[in-house]
Structure 1
Amino acid sequence: MRHRPAGPPPLGRRALLRGLAGAATLAAAPGPAGCGTDRRGDPGLVTMGSNRANPAQREAIAESLALWEADSGVRVELNTIDSTSFQESLNNYLQGTPDDVVAWFAGYRMRYLAERGLISDATAVWEERGFHDVFTDQVRDLCSGPDGRPYMVPDSTSPWAVFYRRSVFEEHGYEEPSTKEEFIGLCERMRDDGLVPLAYGVREGWPAMGTFDHLNLRLNGPEFHLGLLNGDHPWDGPEVKAVFGAWKELLPFHQGSPLGRGINEAQTSLVRGEAGMMLCGLFLTHVFSEEERADLDCFAFPEFDPEIGADVVETPIDGFMLSGDPRNPGAAMDLVGHLGTLRAQEIYTAIDPQALPTHQEADLSELSALDAKIMDMIAGARALTQYMDRDTRPDFASVVMIPALQRFLRRPDDIDDLTASIQRQKASIFGR
């Protein structure tokens, strides 16, 4: 990977990952609708289903698609739906009459679809565009199915870290912690200074996965973490109980009543300076104004075990897939290929503040200080993980783990019964 000290691509403030219109309309339907079968074979139209629904994402994808429309002479019909509804309805959507191109996530969630024949092999796109040379081996693996073939073209990532406002740290003389002891000490100081140490809102359920992931990665390492999410390890063993024990120790430093607070509300606490820190993905930049983003900084979730370290980064990768039977396969393949190019990624990531490009040749010459730090974290990572709901089966993530993590936050003393319940459900789903 090419790595230079600081700066986004020429059109903005973005960076690269080491180790994407016609009219972007927000659909009112409960999930992706797809298009009618009467459009099959129309050489002048390709359709796309997208979960990129916030204003910056919609603007960014519109610009990138407009570029391809101008070059190809083919019109893109974009079906946009909010991310949660899109995610919950994707399986049924892909088994119905889906769009030609579909925005989605790399990792287990994509492999799950590939294994079931719901998306198409994208090997031809990768070979024609030379993507094997512009994406790292680890990114390529995350975009490949169980057969080793690529099924997705990656375009951006929104890594996780502990975010804070630089002005708040400077006002109180805080320093970034690198160990568990320093982290707890900083939380105690913040609490004494009248701040909520850690903003926290998990009403949607899935945000709590980030806390489990980071503690498991720091206490047990990436190999155990990914094996656990793959069903290879028991959930009632000492390793997992240690994770919940460490989480219980940190709970007093978190914003109270998190199950009644959404993640956006928690992020607003950070914006207002009411909370000192927040473990979150780079998508939290959407609640900050451009001026406020200049005050935003971050550090890697601290080390909890010196033998494990803190060099694994939760780096969810987004991209685009071909549906199982596109109506306009030629145009769909060309569009997916375009979305992975350096030009398209620079356009997209210059507009969307949460997105960092995955293309290795992305220009770093104008990278913001925040993005430069995140890129350094990724560049120095021993391993990249996606996120619990991307690194495991969707039925296990949504049916088992979201309720389990919510139960833990209600009753944190109930670790033995909790982990035994997770293990019973895990064995039923994974068959082991």
Structure 2
Amino acid sequence: MSRRNLLRGTAISAGAVALPSLLTACGGGPADAGKTVAMGSNASDPVPKKAYGEAFKAYEKQSKEKRKVKVNTVDHNSFQENINRYLQSTPDDVFMWFAGYRMQFFAKKNLLHEISDLWSGFDGFSDAIKDQSTGEDGKQYFVPFYYYPWAVFHRRSVFQKYGYEAPKNLDEYVALAKQMQKDKLIPIAFADKDGWPAMGTFDYLNMRINGYEFHKALMAGEKAWNGTEVKEVFDTWRRLMPYHQEGANGRTWQEAAGALQKSEAGMAVFGLPQPGQQFPDDEREDLDFFVFPEINPEHGTDAVEAPIDGFLLAKKGKNLKDDKGMEAAKDLLKFLATAEAENTYLEHDPTNIAVHEEADTAKYSELQQKAVELVSSAKQISQFLDRDTRPDFASTVMIPALQSFIGNPKDIDGLVNDIERQKKTVFAAD
């Protein structure tokens, strides 16, 4: 599948309950089947939690049947780490998740209801967006809601104060990091306590060095992790490690983004929502980014990470055995597939980009407009490491592997050999 135009159609237009070991749906299920839809939410951070809440209120307000949305908000990391067990137990009817492989994996496991009937009535989504919402069986399972690019974020005022310029290649990136050290700044704010943030840096290094096609093949288990290509990725990262914020394995992404917001750090490799949500409204105009620099001229900066988030219908949803419950859940999904729903969300969270072609982009900030241009001009779009590969491989192999590398970046041979050994076991499973 070509992803060159994955988002072009849309881009040109335009209190958490912590469950440390297992996700569970809200107990018991609504008694008034067909009137209340149970929503499993991973939006545990304040900004998206409020924005989703406003979108659900908008649905309730326009619902002729006076339906309600009962939200079960779970810590984002716990949600991701326990999603497989959640879906195999008694999950909420609708839940928040990701497009692409992460959706396809659970569809193939028969843990999702297909919604091809809903898609037949959808409009405003490009063919490429529909493709990312489609399972390997050709049926649709996913309602896309927004996307956001990953890049190297910084404060405009800090760059202006010190006269910094955005680096175009790796040597300039290293030179800038060295200068930031001389200026008593942390060059690159960095965190990986949550397990996933470091994946963005790995992906960009891999795509800049080896290209997007290699990234796809590596994520699919078709390339060796102990080959020279991946070793070069870790070797390059080891060269950059002295400029990363120390103690990353004990730091949350919010803390790392906070270092950028406080002007303690000069740069950070993140998705747009991470620093965006840590900057107060009156400071967000000072937030800027540049594309992750070129390393191998053959691949340039062609590839951009731009994950798509949205909603899925759980096969074992607690209210979905009842026809009225299914009707209610699908009615909610129909609303969430509208420009109105996305407009309502983005009004309260201006750190993402709408996927619906009719969404109102007139109020987009300069940062959002720049994000749209970054994605629409990309030759390839990736979904992020833990979305482009098997979820079990991402969680059980790559999270500890990257944390191990961050803790001790010296033994690259041992690291990649261990990843390759585990990969063969995981990908051999059905």
Q: TM-score, normalised by structure 1?
A: 0.91
Q: Give the CA deviation at 1:305.
A: 1.1
Q: Give the CA deviation at 1:91.
A: 1.6
Q: Give the CA deviation at 1:263.
A: 1.7
CA distance in 2, matches of 1:63, 1:38: 22
SS of the equivalent of 1:129 reads coil
User: Which deviates more from structure 2 when the two are superposed, residues 48-57 or residues 115-124?
Assistant: 48-57
Match of 1:420 in 2: 417
CA distance in 2, matches of 1:269, 1:108: 33
Match of 2:67 in 1: 74
Within 5 Å, give how 1:242-391 maps onto structure 2. Answer: 242-283=232-273, 284-325=275-316, 326=320, 327=322, 328-391=325-388
The answer (yes or no) to whether the contact 2:19–2:78 under 8 Å persists in 1 is no
Q: Give the CA deviation at 1:64.
A: 1.2
Relative distance call for 1:98 and 1:40 in structure 2 (3 A) is farther
CA distance in 1, matches of 2:404, 2:35: 51
Match of 2:100 in 1: 107
- Tell me how large the CA RMSD over aligned residues is: 2.1
2:24 paired with 1:33: yes
Pick from 39, 45, 68: which aligns with 1:54?
45
Q: Give the CA deviation at 1:229.
A: 0.8
Residue 78 of structure 2 aligns with an amino acid whose one-letter code is S
SS of the equivalent of 2:393 reads helix
Match of 2:136 in 1: 146
The answer (yes or no) to whether the contact 1:56–1:353 under 8 Å persists in 2 is no
The answer (yes or no) to whether the contact 1:35–1:97 under 8 Å persists in 2 is no
Q: Give the CA deviation at 1:36.
A: 5.8
Pick from 180, 185, 189: which aligns with 1:190?
180
SS of the equivalent of 1:149 reads coil
User: Which deviates more from structure 2 when the two are superposed, residues 117-126 or residues 253-262?
Assistant: 253-262
Residue 350 of structure 2 aligns with an amino acid whose one-letter code is P
CA distance in 2, matches of 1:61, 1:289: 19
The answer (yes or no) to whether the contact 2:350–2:365 under 8 Å persists in 1 is no
Match of 1:129 in 2: 122
Q: Give the CA deviation at 1:44.
A: 1.7
2:426 paired with 1:429: yes
Q: Give the CA deviation at 1:55.
A: 1.7
CA distance in 2, matches of 1:343, 1:38: 28
Q: Give the CA deviation at 1:103.
A: 1.0
Relative distance call for 1:303 and 1:405 in structure 2 (3 A) is same
The answer (yes or no) to whether the contact 1:18–1:136 under 8 Å persists in 2 is no
Q: TM-score, normalised by structure 2?
A: 0.91
Q: Give the CA deviation at 1:139.
A: 2.2
1:231-280 CA-partner distances (Å, limit 9, x unpaired): 01010111101100110111111112222322222111111111110001
Relative distance call for 1:38 and 1:270 in structure 2 (3 A) is closer
CA distance in 2, matches of 1:277, 1:420: 31
Q: Give the CA deviation at 1:49.
A: 1.0
The answer (yes or no) to whether the contact 1:18–1:358 under 8 Å persists in 2 is no
2:83 paired with 1:83: no
Q: Give the CA deviation at 1:110.
A: 0.9
Aligned length: 413
The answer (yes or no) to whether the contact 2:58–2:344 under 8 Å persists in 1 is no
The answer (yes or no) to whether the contact 1:34–1:98 under 8 Å persists in 2 is yes
CA distance in 1, matches of 2:254, 2:70: 30
Structure 1: runs of 5+ lacking an equivalent: 5-14, 20-24
The answer (yes or no) to whether the contact 1:101–1:332 under 8 Å persists in 2 is yes
CA distance in 2, matches of 1:429, 1:141: 26
SS of the equivalent of 1:26 reads coil
Relative distance call for 1:26 and 1:261 in structure 2 (3 A) is closer
CA distance in 1, matches of 2:225, 2:33: 51
CA distance in 1, matches of 2:248, 2:49: 29
2:200 paired with 1:210: yes
User: Which deviates more from structure 2 when the two are superposed, residues 254-263 or residues 46-55?
Assistant: 254-263
2:108 paired with 1:118: no
CA distance in 2, matches of 1:166, 1:249: 26
**Sequence identity percentage:** 44
Q: Give the CA deviation at 1:18.
A: 6.0
1:354-402 CA-partner distances (Å, limit 9, x unpaired): 3221112223223211111111000101111111111111111111111
1:61-110 CA-partner distances (Å, limit 9, x unpaired): 12111121122221221111111111122222211222211111112111
Structure 2: runs of 5+ lacking an equivalent: none
Q: Give the CA deviation at 1:35.
A: 4.8
CA distance in 2, matches of 1:258, 1:103: 27
Match of 1:157 in 2: 147
